[in-house]
Amino acid sequence: MTARHSPALPAAFLLCAASALAPAASANECVKVAPGSYSADRTVSGPEGSQRVKIYVSGAKKREEGPGQAGPEVKITAGPTSGTIVFNPESKAGIRLPAPPNQRRRDIKVNSQDRGDGTVTVTITADVNGEQQQISQLTCRKDGVLIEARHTIPDEQGNSKGTLVIRDSNVVVGPQPASLFAVPSGIKFVR
């Protein structure tokens, strides 16, 4: 699949999908394996297209840089219980997105399994139409680096209408500058 921006799969959906598809459970299960600190090239692919972004991770903090609806877009999240700041570094226009609701679904189950090769598989299941089904599977290195995540994209009835795949490559492990996770001055937030 060729990297492209698809109007049918907006950047905001692509970049937020992992959190939106399995609230609370998969916000970043790799951080639970180990609080990683790294940068990487991330490819997010869905049924209607794919997008490449640059990602910086420091524990629960995350910064993503990539194409948006109206030019370049930067997203900064301080952690799973905080909101996300999205801004265009050229136009200096930004928006604050609220944190996802802190409502842990009782039907979600998270299982981690050491694969014995330096990686851990995290499987997330949930009740879908009365049956416990896998909704996400993540493969992480033991240092917290995401290798691949696969999330089921549900339709209105909860049935699968495709898979969202997130892959990190060109990983550079090491401390990330605190300035990456700070909102630069001059950003004008719209309501």
13 close to 26: Cβ distance less than 8 angstroms = no
Strands laid side by side in the 109-114 sheet: 109-114, 119-128, 131-141, 146-154, 160-173, 37-46, 49-58, 61-68, 71-77, 84-87, 93-97, 188-189
Lowest mean pLDDT among 6-10, 35-39, 62-66, 109-113: 6-10
**What is the pLDDT of the chain when averaged over all its residues?**
78
Query: What pLDDT is recorded for position 34?
Result: 59
Q: Which two tokens stand for residue 60?
A: 């629960």
User: Residue 30's pLDDT band (boundaries 50, 70, 90)?
Assistant: low
Where does the chain have alpha helices with state H? Answer: 11-21, 29-33
d(CA 21, CA 17): 6
Q: What are phi and psi of 20, to 5 degrees?
A: -75, -30
Query: What pLDDT is recorded for position 102?
Result: 63
Query: What pLDDT is recorded for position 3?
Result: 35
Judged by DSSP in three states, 115 sits in: coil
pTM of the model: 0.74
Query: What pLDDT is recorded for position 124?
Result: 86
d(CA 105, CA 101): 11
Query: What pLDDT is recorded for position 18?
Result: 36
Fold of 11-189: outer membrane lipoprotein receptor (LolB), chain A (2.50.20)
